[in-house]
Amino acid sequence: MIIVWYHFWQQSWLMPVYGKINLDIIPRFGFLLVDMMIVLSGFCLFIPYVRSLVYKKKMPSTKEFYIKRIAKIFPSYYLSMIICVIFLIILKDGWFNTFFIKDSLMHLFFVHNWSTDTLL
């Protein structure tokens, strides 16, 4: 929740001050938790390789690594895309246009950050 709060604070600059209670330090240093999550993720990704070194087992292959990542990331990513499209259909008239097609295709293939208009 602190990471979400940090990103919300970063975009809005709303200060969490309630009378004499100032909670500004919590979202202001939320970026540290983002960095900690990246380090933790790297550590967790490295565990199978350490296990194979310690127990003298076969190293995990690159193919196995990517198959596991795809199995973890793709389903939730595509589900969130489907949910966004459903909300778009419900809430917005004229949603189906050339930008929607470009944006959807670029997100579908994980290259949406290659174009400024689909990234922002």
Indicate yes or no: pTM above 0.75. no
Tell me the per-residue pLDDT of 12-44, one tens digit each, with 9 for 90 and over. 888 888 889 998 888 888 889 889 999 999 999
Distances (CA, A) of 58 to 18, 61, 68, 77, 92: 57, 9, 17, 31, 53
Q: Which three-class secondary structure state does DSSP give residue 96?
A: coil
Long-range contacts of 33-38 (CB under 8 A, 24+ apart): 33/2, 33/3, 33/6, 34/3, 34/6, 37/3
Extract the tokens encoding 48.
Answer: 């199978």
pLDDT given at position 117: 86
Percent of the chain with pLDDT over 70: 100
Distance between CA atoms of 118 and 115, rounded to whole angstroms?
Answer: 6
